Structure 1
Amino acid sequence: MAAHENVQQVLDRSVAEVGIPGIVAEVKDGDRTWFGTAGVADIATGSPRVPGEYFHAGSSGKAFTSATLLALEAEARLSLDDTVNAHLPGVLDVNVNGYDGDKITIRHLLSNTSGLFATGLAPEVSHRYATRSGFDRHRFDTFSTEELLRVAVSQPPVGAPGERFEYANGGFYIAGAIIEKVTGNSYADEVDRRVVQPLGLTHTRVRPTTETGYPSPHPRGYSSQFLKDGADPAALTPENWESLMEEPGLPPLDVTEFNSSLGYAAGNVVSTTTDMIRFFTAMTTGSLLPPKQHRQMWTTVSTEGGYWMPHARYGLGMFEFDERATGGRTLRGVGGSLWGSFFFAVGTPDGRHTVAVHTNTEWKSWDLMFKVIEAEFGVSIDA
């Protein structure tokens, strides 16, 4: 099929011109499926990438968190308009860290409009992982929920609740803790009970904090996303981070084995392209959640000015492209990046046409996603 041939060309160019070690794409178009690959799963052995590989889905896990909380709301266990203090009093204390737990709601957390700062810029995180030597030294560090909640509020607010979009993992850390408080169960167990099992995602789970590898088959993960030697992570800002990154051309670091507890409810799901297409389909069509909760997931806010993907609007853990950039066509998506892994799925709201892509290196630019969208859907989005 010509459209899929165009996708294959994007995959080939991504390896040849962008330096991605290995990439796969799976397309579901009605009753038909297509799988394409380019590059390698392992630089050392040259082994190819294959269908059914497990990978870390990065911030796609935010959508699992949102779906779990929406399911709890449907059972009247909570409301998305509940304040944080209603469930976790003291975590957000305006007199201690500037965040008012009586004004920030669960909805604010899930839509990245809570006013929390960009968690990845916290010194507790950047000093451990920002350089190659730091990553190697700390790759097996384990973060407890209590530590993550402290990191989430360790820097001042960037705005008032509901004022603006700012992509903040910390909001999802708090959301995960609310799930645990309300249910009395672990975050992983609740995601499994309310999302993974109902959808039959047999190759998907929240990664245990004791696990540092992947089931087979899986690609090796490679990273070049580090600061220059001598760069001070404390100087890192959303405006200057690109200028502080390593120069291109250095060999990538093998980051396959690492502890991903830092992801927690902001993104610590291991899955496959097939399972993620099934998950995306359920989220975009509303087959998992009741109509009220489904509408809430897709009530979106502008991401403009939030140092995130251009031409997009953010729902609850998922995104939708601004129709002004797609010529009036509605396309939705989910995705995320972590060391050695970048995944996204984009498709139509009816769930009939979806493309899922994974690379065994982290996000480099939005250009890959936009080129795949143009190749598969015929929609040109100007990055």
Structure 2
Amino acid sequence: MTMRSHRPVAVAVALAALAAPSLTACTTAPSAARVPPVGTVTRPPATTVPALRRLVEDGAPGAASLVTRDGRFSASRFATVGVADLRSGRRMGARDHFRAGSLTKTLVATVVLQLVAEGRLALDGTAAAHLPPGVPATGDGADLRKVTVRQLLDHTSGLFNYTDDRRLSRQLYGKGFGAHRYDRYTPAELLRIALGHPPVAAPGARYSYSNTNYLVLGMIIKAVTGHPYATEIRRRILVPAGLDDTSFPGTDPTLPAPHGRAYSRIGDRRVDATSLDPSRAGAAGEMVTTLGDLNRFFSALLAGAFLPPRQMAEIRSEKRTGGTYGLGLYATELPCGVTVWGHNGDINGSFAQTAGSADGRHVVSYRVNTDAADRAHGTDVLTAEFCPAPHA
């Protein structure tokens, strides 16, 4: 469902003062300096603004984007349209925190592939072999003893998506949201809900996106390392890359300052969904971050700063999904034929996407503060930035 507004649209474009971090503490990572330089394309200073405006005209209270080129984070180009808060009229800021939903998955996948590179985990090993004690491995036809780590990563496990459970979905996104927004869940509880449904396909048969897959991967990381997946992400990714504005809140319903509001559409009502218990998402989507941190992470990942070459090839491999999904990354072919790599994420009141060139030297992140905007306009944001402008 989309929202339409005819109120005047405010536009701001600014340079975001975002200091570039250095990557120092990644034990399994090759140097990002091996990435060859790419040519510079001269562009107008606000290529994404018309696409952001379309998102707002389509119903998003606010939209924002951040563009980084050649690792020049201090010169990243920030643009925003609309407002971060409908009551105060406050505009979105470059350093605003927001819930990033399934963008969490790419960081989880990166840690899993680091464990593979270290010989502590095998992509073709079974998921059940690494589940903590007391966590179910079988259900209504589903059997994690037949599902591999690779199939979890690329969504070919066939496991039912727990957020599609009818009762839970009403509580998470429907009319029950108000009464259940602070409900607390454990990964094992959510997995049991998923295993209470028949699988959507046999393991390896076809691609079917499922949050359950990354819920299980979070448990596998803990079983292999002895630490919660969020602790491993902080140690292996956030600290080395200087991603100081990214966090995994667990059960904390609040957002760190600064932040705007998040708006959901439930029936015909717009609901403020800023505050909620993020344990509903866990390793599938609990991350809180900023546009700047997303650009830094994806720039470093695509440049090879977190994974050795073999695992970099794996994270981009889409052969088992028919070109749909790698091991934690989407490849998106834009109308002009350019392919960009990244992920998107949505959760109550928030949608965001990051995409970058294959070498990570050109990265764009954008967000809206609603879960109800037309995402086709998001593709317009990427097209505006990555596709050459037609000659006059």
Which bracket does the TM-score occupy, shorter chain normalised?
0.7 to 0.9
What is the CA–CA distance in structure 2 between the aligned matches of 1:343 and 1:69, rounded to whole Å?
23
Corresponding residue for residue 234 of structure 1: none
Aligned-pair CA distance for 1:140: 0.3
Gap change, CA 1:117 and 1:186, over 3 Å in 2: same
Is the Cα contact below 8 Å between 1:151 and 1:170 reproduced in 2? no
Corresponding residue for residue 158 of structure 2: 115
Q: Which amino acid letter does the alignment assign opposite residue 148 of structure 1? A: L
Q: Secondary structure at the match of 2:383?
A: helix
Aligned pairs (5 A) from 1:11-22 = 11-15=52-56, 17-22=57-62
Is the Cα contact below 8 Å between 2:338 and 2:386 reproduced in 1? no
Corresponding residue for residue 356 of structure 1: 365
- Answering whether residue 53 of structure 2 is matched by residue 42 of structure 1, we say no
Is the Cα contact below 8 Å between 1:26 and 1:35 reproduced in 2? yes
- Answering whether residue 111 of structure 2 is matched by residue 68 of structure 1, we say yes
What is the CA–CA distance in structure 2 between the aligned matches of 1:272 and 1:115, rounded to whole Å?
32
Aligned pairs (5 A) from 1:295-314 = 295-301=313-319, 313-314=324-325
- Answering whether residue 174 of structure 2 is matched by residue 92 of structure 1, we say no
What is the CA–CA distance in structure 2 between the aligned matches of 1:124 and 1:185, rounded to whole Å?
31
RMSD: 2.0
Aligned pairs (5 A) from 1:212-231 = 212-224=253-265, 226=266
Is the Cα contact below 8 Å between 1:280 and 1:334 reproduced in 2? no
Is the Cα contact below 8 Å between 1:191 and 1:206 reproduced in 2? no
Q: Secondary structure at the match of 1:181?
A: helix
Gap change, CA 1:2 and 1:329, over 3 Å in 2: closer
Indicate the percent of aligned positions where both proteins have the same amino acid: 38
Aligned-pair CA distance for 1:327: 4.7
Q: Which amino acid letter does the alignment assign opposite residue 203 of structure 2? A: P
Residue by residue, what CA displacement relative to the aligned partner does 1:6-29 show, whole Å, maximum 9, x if unpaired?
3112222322x2011011110012
- Answering whether residue 332 of structure 2 is matched by residue 321 of structure 1, we say yes
Gap change, CA 1:102 and 1:131, over 3 Å in 2: closer
Q: Which amino acid letter does the alignment assign opposite residue 197 of structure 1? A: V
Gap change, CA 1:72 and 1:303, over 3 Å in 2: closer
Corresponding residue for residue 307 of structure 2: 289
Aligned-pair CA distance for 1:373: 1.7
What is the CA–CA distance in structure 2 between the aligned matches of 1:277 and 1:107, rounded to whole Å?
26
Gap change, CA 1:363 and 1:192, over 3 Å in 2: farther
Residue by residue, what CA displacement relative to the aligned partner does 1:268-297 show, whole Å, maximum 9, x if unpaired?
111110110111112222111111111111
Corresponding residue for residue 184 of structure 2: 142
Q: Secondary structure at the match of 1:331?
A: strand
Q: How many residues align?
A: 343
Structure 2 unaligned blocks of 5 or more? 1-41
Gap change, CA 1:121 and 1:13, over 3 Å in 2: same
Corresponding residue for residue 233 of structure 1: none
Q: Secondary structure at the match of 2:142?
A: coil
Q: Secondary structure at the match of 1:342?
A: strand
Aligned-pair CA distance for 1:87: 1.5
TM-score in terms of structure 2 length: 0.83
Gap change, CA 1:6 and 1:343, over 3 Å in 2: same
Aligned-pair CA distance for 1:379: 6.9
Q: Secondary structure at the match of 2:46?
A: helix
Q: Secondary structure at the match of 2:239?
A: helix
Corresponding residue for residue 270 of structure 2: 252
Aligned-pair CA distance for 1:187: 1.8
Corresponding residue for residue 230 of structure 1: none
Partner residue of 1:165 out of 207, 213, 231: 207
Structure 1 unaligned blocks of 5 or more? 227-245, 305-311
Aligned-pair CA distance for 1:329: 2.4
- Answering whether residue 354 of structure 2 is matched by residue 331 of structure 1, we say no
Is the Cα contact below 8 Å between 1:122 and 1:154 reproduced in 2? no
Q: Which amino acid letter does the alignment assign opposite residue 50 of structure 2? A: Q
Q: Secondary structure at the match of 1:261?
A: helix
What is the CA–CA distance in structure 2 between the aligned matches of 1:360 and 1:101, rounded to whole Å?
36
Residue by residue, what CA displacement relative to the aligned partner does 1:42-88 show, whole Å, maximum 9, x if unpaired?
10111111110111110000111101111111111111111012212
What is the CA–CA distance in structure 1 between the aligned matches of 2:81 and 2:50, rounded to whole Å?
9
What is the CA–CA distance in structure 1 between the aligned matches of 2:372 and 2:366, rounded to whole Å?
12
Q: Which amino acid letter does the alignment assign opposite residue 38 of structure 1? A: V
